[in-house]
């Protein structure tokens, strides 16, 4: 009984959605959905503006929500499988309270420790060190997953937009003038972004300025773009990094519980030795769910056609079997 198999299947499914997101974006770009303009506001001050002529397809954020669901549920599966191995039973006790803890405060962690009571003490310590409140919360992988998944699951789809990932404008100005360039927005808000402000001095109204924006645009999530840490990393690379992180988490707990994992290269030799020094339980046993017979029911008259199964194709009468 491989209880961690569903964890690996979830992360594999997340990778399928990651590929679909890339396909949606690339197809979107083929339609040239973005336009650029250099707007003269007067007095030699110009704004380089990017705007979308066609919004990002709605399916992008739906696919992203499915990616988030898979990586977040994968973490919960890890805790469920670990609790089953520790307690030796499937399902583990109090399975309705189990979840992978992701908390932004020590108080929230302490208030939810009861959810982890069926794990080993070393498991709780491992989880403690991973919490957003024990690190740079903005850069914490778990915090990023949880915050976005919570928005998508309980409120609305995340805000799909675009990010100016590359900006290398080449500007042509009149002889004798000097430019000053200031950088502005990198994330499109309500379909537009003023990415740069160019001031040309001295300026006369008969002057003309032209620009080749040389812009590279990536997909973005509005809520994620607020993070100074994640904003520096290209969108597709963020998803890949998070999948690597979650796969490593599966390997960590799978090896600790079973002594094997399909992602052995994610573990250090010292961690494997630490796990091997602990006493492992045998495979967990499946516990039958309690049930009871219903109250006696009175039979009702029927017909030969119903007995022969004429109204139930593929089914006919059978005889009782002896024990």
Q: What pLDDT digit, counting tens, does each position of 36-91 carry?
A: 999 999 999 999 999 999 999 999 999 999 999 999 999 999 999 999 999 999 99
The confidence score (pLDDT) of residue 318 equals 64
The confidence score (pLDDT) of residue 291 equals 82
Instruction: Give domain limits for the chain.
Output: 5-277
Residue 314 has pLDDT above 70, yes or no: no
The confidence score (pLDDT) of residue 194 equals 97
Report the first-to-last Cα separation within the chain, whole angstroms.
29
What's the rounded Cα separation, in Å, for the pair 318 and 300?
Answer: 19
Query: In the beta sheet, which residues pair with residue 90?
Result: 286
What are the pLDDT digits (tens) for 176-211?
999 999 999 999 999 999 999 999 999 999 999 999
Close Cβ partners of 8 (under 8 Å, ≥ 6 residues apart): 247, 250, 262
The confidence score (pLDDT) of residue 307 equals 78
Mean pLDDT of the chain: 93
3-state helix, strand, coil in the chain (%, to 5): 45, 20, 35
CA torsion, ordered 2, 127, 94, 96, to nearest 10 deg: -90
The confidence score (pLDDT) of residue 277 equals 96
Q: 247 with 255: CB under 8 angstroms?
A: no
Residue 240 has pLDDT above 90, yes or no: yes
Q: 156 with 11: CB under 8 angstroms?
A: no
Under the banding of pLDDT at 50, 70 and 90, the label for residue 304 is confident
Percent of the chain with pLDDT over 90: 82
What's the rounded Cα separation, in Å, for the pair 141 and 68?
Answer: 12
What average pLDDT does range 138-156 have in this prediction? 91
Residue 317 has pLDDT above 80, yes or no: no
The confidence score (pLDDT) of residue 320 equals 60
Residue with tokens 């039979």: 299
Q: Which two tokens stand for residue 319?
A: 């005889």
Q: Which stretches of 157-204 are DSSP H helices?
A: none
| Strand, coil or helix: 136 | coil
Q: 205 with 69: CB under 8 angstroms?
A: no
The confidence score (pLDDT) of residue 322 equals 65
Q: 116 with 127: CB under 8 angstroms?
A: yes
The confidence score (pLDDT) of residue 125 equals 97
Q: 59 with 24: CB under 8 angstroms?
A: yes
Query: Phi-psi bin for 94: left (phi > 0), alpha (psi -120 to 50), beta?
Result: left
Close Cβ partners of 21 (under 8 Å, ≥ 6 residues apart): 60, 63, 64, 67, 219, 236, 239
Q: 21 with 239: CB under 8 angstroms?
A: yes
Q: Which of 3, 2, 52, 58 is nearest to 29 (CA)?
A: 52
């Amino acid at each position: 009984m491989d209880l961690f198999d569903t964890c690996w299947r979830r992360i594999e499914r997340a990778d399928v959605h990651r590929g679909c997101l890339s396909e949606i974006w690339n197809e979107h770009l083929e339609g040239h959905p973005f336009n650029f303009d250099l707007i003269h506001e007067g007095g030699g001050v110009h704004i380089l503006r990017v705007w979308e002529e066609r919004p990002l397809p709605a399916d992008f954020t739906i696919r992203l929500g499915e990616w988030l669901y898979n990586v977040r549920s994968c973490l919960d599966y890890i805790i469920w499988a670990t609790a089953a191995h520790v307690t030796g039973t499937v399902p583990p006790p109090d399975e309705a309270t189990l979840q992978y803890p992701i908390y932004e405060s020590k108080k929230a962690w302490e208030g939810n420790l009861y959810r982890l009571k069926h794990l080993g003490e070393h498991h709780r310590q491992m989880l403690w060190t991973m919490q957003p409140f024990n690190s740079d919360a903005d850069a914490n992988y778990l915090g990023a997953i949880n915050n976005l998944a919570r928005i998508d699951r309980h409120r609305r789809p995340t805000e799909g937009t675009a990010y100016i990932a590359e900006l290398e404008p080449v500007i042509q100005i009149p002889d004798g003038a000097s430019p000053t360039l200031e950088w502005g927005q990198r994330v499109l808000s309500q379909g537009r972004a003023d990415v740069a402000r160019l001031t040309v001095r001295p300026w006369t109204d008969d002057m003309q300025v032209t620009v080749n924006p040389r812009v590279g645009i990536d997909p973005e999530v509005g809520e994620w773009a607020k993070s100074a840490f994640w904003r520096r990393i290209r969108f597709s690379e963020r998803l890949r990094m998070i999948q690597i992180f979650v796969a490593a988490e599966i390997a960590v707990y799978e090896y600790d519980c079973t002594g094997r994992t399909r992602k052995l290269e994610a573990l250090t030799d010292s961690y494997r030795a630490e796990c091997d020094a602990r006493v492992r339980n045998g495979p967990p046993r499946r516990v039958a769910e309690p049930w009871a017979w219903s109250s006696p029911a009175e039979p009702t008259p029927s017909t030969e056609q119903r007995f022969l199964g004429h109204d139930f194709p593929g089914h006919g009468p059978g005889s009782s079997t002896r024990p």
